[in-house]
Amino acid sequence: MSINKENNLLNKKIVYDLTSFSHLDYPNHLSCIVWIVGCGFRCDYCYNSDIVFTKSGKYSFNDILSFLDTRINLLDAIVLSGGEATGVDLIPFCKQVKKKGFKIKLDTNGVNFEQIKKLLELKLLDYIALDYKAPKYKFTNITHSSLLKFDQFEQTLIYLINNNFDFEVRTTVHSDLLNENDINFIINYLYNKEYKGIYYLQNYFDSNNTIGNISKQQYQLNINQINTEKIKIQYRNF
């Protein structure tokens, strides 16, 4: 990429917002969260629909870099989230973040395999949280995207496993969309792919009772029916 293109990218207002401090989003690290606009999925339970549908944000990457200058030795890392952060070219920004000494965590749906692979080859990422939205047989209904996107997600998952990279797999569970059988299917899938990390189940929670067309779930996942023998399971918000 030419210098002019990099500068244009760094100056473009594609950051929806900035969470200046978090001790929860990157395990064992103090971080900030950079919320990047846009996403190719249209998940019914999405918490961040404003970010998904917005074309521009409050900040540019250069604005975030200026903020990071004020947080050297105060924060350990940044989290790239969204929306879907890999919908834009992250490489120029991540290079500058690394020069400042921060670690980088990426929250991603995994469909932009080539960019994720390049980021890892350049050693620009330290941790990934990979969203496993649904089994393939429910993927289109939940994400409103093509099955090709699942294949791309799968490519990323297998690449991360084979390269022994530090990452987690997580699924947000709304009981109108996923049940215990679906979760056990995912567990068996991860086990067969030789995933060795923790599988996080995140309970859908909406204090406003509705998001989009999905109402607050009437019951929580019955965790007693989840197979915990094959891989490590941890629960969030259950």
User: What sign does the CA torsion over 143, 144, 147, 148 have?
Assistant: negative
Ordered per-residue pLDDT tens for the chain, 238 residues:
677 788 888 999 999 999 999 999 999 999 999 999 999 999 988 877 789 888 889 999 999 999 999 999 999 999 999 999 999 999 999 999 999 999 999 999 999 999 999 999 999 999 999 999 999 999 999 999 999 999 999 999 999 999 999 999 999 998 889 999 999 999 999 999 999 999 999 988 655 544 444 555 555 778 889 999 999 999 987 7
Q: Delineate the domains of the chain, giving CATH numbers in brackets.
A: 3-236 (3.20.20.70)
Q: In whole angstroms, what is the distance from residue 188 CA to residue 207 CA?
A: 32
Q: Write a three-state SS string for the chain.
A: CCHHHHHHHHHCCCEEEEEEEECCCCCCCCEEEEEECCCCCCCCCCCCHHHHHCCCCCECHHHHHHHHHCCECCECEEEEEECCHHHCCCHHHHHHHHHCCCEEEEEECCCCHHHHHHHHHCCCCCEEEEECCCCHHHHHHHHCCCHHHHHHHHHHHHHHHHCCCCEEEEEEECCCCCCHHHHHHHHHHHHHCCCCCEEEEEECCCCCCEECCEECCCCCCCHHHCCCCCCEEEEECC
Residue from 42, 176, 166 nearest 109 by CA: 42
**Residue 55 is encoded by which pair of tokens?**
């074309």
